[in-house]
A and B are shown apart, each in its own frame.
Chain A
Amino acid sequence: MAEAPEEKTTATKATETVKKIRGLVKGMSMLAHEARDRGQPVVYCFMGNMCDEIVRAMDMVPVWTENWAGLCAAVHRAEPFLLKAQAEGFSDKLCTYATCGLGFDIMRHELGEVPPDAPDGGMERPDAMLAIGLSMCDARHKWYQAVQRYMDVPVHTMGILVPPYDADLKEVESYYVDYMVEELKGMVEFLERVTGRKMDWDELSRLIDLSDETNRVWYEAYQLRKAVPAPMPSQDAMSAMVPGWYRLGTQEALDFYRQLYDEIKYRVDNKMGAIPNEKYRLLWGMGIPPWFALKLFNFFENWGAVFPIEVIYRPFDPVEIPAGVTHPLERLAWRTYKRGTYRYDKARNHTGDPDVELLIELIDDYKIDAVVYHRALSCRTVHTGRLHELAVLKQYRNLPSLILESDMVDVSSFSEEDIKNKIETFIEIVDAHKRGKKKNPRLSAS
């Protein structure tokens, strides 16, 4: 193995397009701050809760509270908010996205104004909050209930349920989809009631078309990342996800991914790799990164390891909704259901686990040598079950794996020295495994 070259201090981006993201995030905050002047209601929202197009079609401005907490982490300003929430009695073991956001809302409540130094001017005070049910995350319905302690703002909780992995989809499909449609109607009714706005159904249909196209282009762009050398690494994807998760249903998001597609294609056509001497291709498993220390990607790159693809924050797989479904809420419901159950049938006849199916696809398609997870200690939803997933994967693809631990927001959980040591040891294992595989191809399981 070669000696590690000199270390960089920030996460190095390969693509120019993703460098626009910080400005885009600032723009999102600005839109919210200026919303009141434009007479637009502001809504606290969670990513992936099906509300993107609905909120925009009603001419409201979403504030993505998880994203804002991630921003606080990235600019290393989360700590005062976390400590504030803890002082109020919210455990430091709770989701730190939530406790960061709560800490901010508590401070604003106490100060009567936005706390000084809140990144991007803080979160705009909402007129309504859209919480979401258990299938996504416990914290995502409890957080906004807790916010009501400091802001008497109406909250609506919507249930979105996906069937368990062993469900017979033919048996349950109709009532799962019907439920989502009804719950979406409930969300629209709630927003109409508390803001006095009316849904523009034609606009909603248009925005769904736009977001479908956005996801399609995004998906196609990421298909290009299968190339060797890797044209765009995962640290770029951690930024590139912003339009797809927080600006869905906007022309800006579609334009972003079109540009990203063109840039990745150019890099592939010209064999431009993310790092100069690509030796190991790693998969970033399902894990929220430490937003305050994305430089950990550099630690890998220093050893010639690149992440061509990641499980988290990917665009959705292309799904087809049944012909004849035209009502926008039904389209949203079917889309969510189909995306949520995309690999169920395939898993049933193979590993039994749709998450493992995805891992196998990515490992094969992106020519992966090893798998890396980051376990964010305050998040049960994303990080529980990964040991199991790896155990199942081992039976189908025998690759080295590494689990790093810290958090997505709380910097006190991060030990740079420890992580560097683990990475160094891991790379040695990956290297040995790769050399062994070359000598004996049967080492790569079927």
Chain B
Amino acid sequence: MAKAHVEQGSLSAAEQVYQDRSQRARQLRDKGKKIIGYFCAYPPVEMLTAANLVPYRIMGNPREAVVRADEYLESIVCSFVRSCFDVALQGGYDFLDGFVASHACDNIGKIYNIWQYNFKPPFSYFVNVPNTTSPASMKFFRAELGTFQRHLEKFTGSQITEQRLVEAIKLHNENRALMREIYALRKPDPPLLSAVEMNKILVASQSIPVEESKQLLRDVIQDLKKRHDGPAQKSARLMVVGSEIDDSPLFRLIEDSEANVVIDDACIGTRVYWHDVETEGDPLDNLVTRYLDKVMCPRTARERTGSREEDLDTKFGHILGLAREFGVNGVILYILRYCDNFGFDVPDMRDYLEKAGLPVLFIEDEYLISGARLKTRIEAFIEMIS
């Protein structure tokens, strides 16, 4: 295969982490490191790194039906959360020393007690994240991060100094910058890497310590820039918008059709990597600004200051901006069933993008991808926009 040259290098390393993503965490744990699992894009991972802990993103398994979790979680719970819990029940997270959830949404909020009760991790913390960006919310979140910091210090027995926190912020900023560089390699037509490959890199990056992620990303960039065997040019360049579309067969499904996915607005993708934390000034204040204000997620409400059109720009302008920057000609809006935060935005989001000239395919489905049915819809959409 023509791709062999690249796959023997850094992409292969990413693939290796992806295929057995807990392997490195387990190795590190054997060497005495403590591994902390976290849900979604809201727990500030910089604070875990500063506490000399390894953040490990909790994900589900979108290829396997949830069976065991049925006994613990109602069928109306978000299928992503149910899948994560199912993986945990199978021992998939038995190496974790701790667990951090945040008030990102009802589903994740509710899972905290249940996880804590059933798995009894040595450390657990619920980061209570307000859902507005009012000055009071920012002040509250600052105080909440202070409490989080004290709990981390108590758990590790070591103080998180301002210097350590700033260093951790810089490390994560560098990691984010490298990931954005990889994203940028998808701007050409054809892109230098597929969404399937990108997804593996994202999963790998959130499964290993940030220093190792940085090295991996640097290597990937170096190899990709030399690449001559990337994806073929196809008739459609798509963006995927949604929530927890991690490790998803969705990308393969799309790219097996006549389209390349070149950008996302999703919880393990741009929502994690697009915004840095300021390094000047109080680090906790800077984390507050980054997580509560800069991260664009429908779970955060922003006070309307202008016209309805301006309000829609505030809510969805970043999606349109990414779509234009990456030369997209269609958007797949993939919303997990039972997700109120995204679900209520669907008509507005769809109209906003269509009004801007971007065709939208709205899919509401489970975390477990239902291949054949989806494939038909996706192919029809690609045919329509090509």
Contacts and interface: CB of A to CB of B under 8 A. Distances in A.
A134 B109 contact: yes
Contacts of B103: 134-135, 161
Interface in B90-148: 103, 105-107, 109-110, 112-114, 116-117, 124, 126, 128-132, 134-137, 139-140, 143-144, 147
B137 A159 contact: yes
Contacts of B134: 159, 182-183, 186
Nearest to B308: A152
Contacts of B77: 380, 384
B345 interface: yes
A314 interface: no
B298 interface: yes
Interface stretch (A28-36, A39-47, A143-151): A143-151
Nearest to B336: A93
Contacts of B109: 134-135
Given A149-B347, A161-B140, A384 B117 contact: no
B34 interface: no
Given A159-B131, A388-B117, A380 B140 contact: no
B144 A133 contact: no
Interface stretch (B66-74, B173-181, B201-209, B376-384): B66-74
A90 interface: yes
Contacts of B147: 171-172
B364 A166 contact: no
A138 B347 CA distance: 17
Contacts of B285: none
Interface stretch (B250-258, B270-278, B299-307): B299-307
B344 A143 contact: yes
A375 B76 CA distance: 9
Given A133-B130, A134-B105, A165 B113 contact: yes
Interface in A118-170: 131, 133-135, 137-139, 141-143, 145-146, 148-149, 152, 154-159, 161, 163-167
A143 B301 CA distance: 12
B124 A166 contact: yes
A186 B131 CA distance: 14
Interface residues of A, number: 61
A1 to B, nearest CB: 30
Contacts of A93: 337-338, 343, 364
Contacts of B301: 131, 133, 141, 145, 157
B57 interface: no
A388 B72 contact: yes
Interface in A61-118: 88-91, 93-95, 98
Contacts, number: 169
A167 B151 CA distance: 11
A287 B70 CA distance: 19
Contacts of B130: 133-134, 159, 161, 179
Nearest to A148: B308
B132 A159 contact: yes
Interface in A367-414: 375, 377-381, 383-388, 391-392
A134 B299 contact: yes
B194 to A, nearest CB: 30
Given A383-B76, A388-B113, A164 B126 contact: yes
Given A142-B341, A186-B134, A377 B126 contact: no
A161 B128 contact: yes
A146 B344 contact: yes
B132 A157 contact: yes
Contacts of B137: 159, 179, 183
A98 B345 CA distance: 13
Contacts of B136: 159, 179, 182-183, 185-186
B340 interface: yes
17 contacts: A98-B344, A133-B131, A134-B131, A134-B299, A135-B128, A139-B340, A159-B130, A159-B131, A159-B140, A164-B113, A172-B143, A175-B140, A179-B137, A353-B113, A380-B107, A383-B76, A385-B74
Interface of A: 88-91, 93-95, 98, 131, 133-135, 137-139, 141-143, 145-146, 148-149, 152, 154-159, 161, 163-167, 171-172, 175-176, 178-179, 182-183, 185-186, 352-353, 375, 377-381, 383-388, 391-392
Interface of B: 71-74, 76-78, 103, 105-107, 109-110, 112-114, 116-117, 124, 126, 128-132, 134-137, 139-140, 143-144, 147, 150, 298-299, 301, 303-304, 308, 311, 335, 337-338, 340-341, 343-348, 350, 362, 364
Given A154-B304, A163-B128, 9 more contacts: A91-B343, A94-B340, A135-B128, A137-B340, A145-B301, A182-B136, A186-B136, A377-B76, A385-B74
Sorted nearest first, the 6 A-B pairs with minimum C-beta distance are A182-B136, A142-B344, A175-B143, A138-B340, A164-B126, A179-B140
